[in-house]
């Protein structure tokens, strides 16, 4: 779903990939590990963003840069993370993220994923 108006504070180069969830791809490189690549993305989440369950074909390493986020990783307790907190989401483990603050929340996500696979796969 595409928003007609960019919310205040969202980066001008960000692309909306779900309602209220904006992504800025920072870099993508092949790794010395055969069949793997690293993708680094700045994720900007508005307070009205609806969480959606998804997974990645590799590990996701997250550092929260701004705001308060609730991460729900299947089989793990809910984690509330604020600026400076970090977490890792294991390979193919379904998870959601939700902005629980009043303003824009931002995280830096680094993915070490299988080359040729989508970065994000929604779970119905």
Q: Is residue 117 part of a domain?
A: yes
Q: Is residue 83 part of a domain?
A: yes
Q: Is residue 31 part of a domain?
A: yes
Distance CA 87, CA 34 (A): 25
As for how many domains the chain has, the answer is: 1
Q: Write the CATH number for 58.
A: 2.60.120.10
CB 84 within 8 A of CB 108: no
Q: Is residue 1 part of a domain?
A: no
Distance CA 23, CA 14 (A): 5
Residue range(s) defining the domain that contains residue 91: 15-122
Q: Is residue 10 part of a domain?
A: no
3 state SS for 30-96: ECCCCCEEEEEEEEEECCCCCCCCEECCEEEEEEEEECEEEEEECCCCCEEEECCCEEEECCCCCEE
What residues does 110 pair with on adjacent strands?
40, 61
Q: Is residue 35 part of a domain?
A: yes
Q: Which parts of the chain sit beneath pLDDT 50?
A: 1, 3
């Amino acid at each position: 779903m595409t928003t007609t108006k960019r919310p205040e504070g969202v980066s001008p180069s960000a692309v909306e990939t779900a309602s209220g969830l904006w992504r800025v791809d920072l870099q993508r490189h092949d790794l010395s590990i055969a069949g793997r690549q690293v993708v680094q993305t700045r994720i900007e989440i508005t307070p009205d963003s609806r969480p959606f369950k998804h997974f990645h074909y590799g590990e996701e390493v997250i550092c929260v840069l701004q705001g308060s986020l609730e991460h729900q990783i299947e089989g793990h307790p809910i984690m509330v993370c604020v600026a400076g907190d970090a977490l890792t989401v294991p390979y193919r483990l379904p998870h959601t993220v939700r902005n629980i603050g009043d303003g824009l929340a931002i995280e830096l996500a680094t993915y070490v994923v299988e080359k040729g696979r989508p970065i994000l796969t929604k779970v119905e």
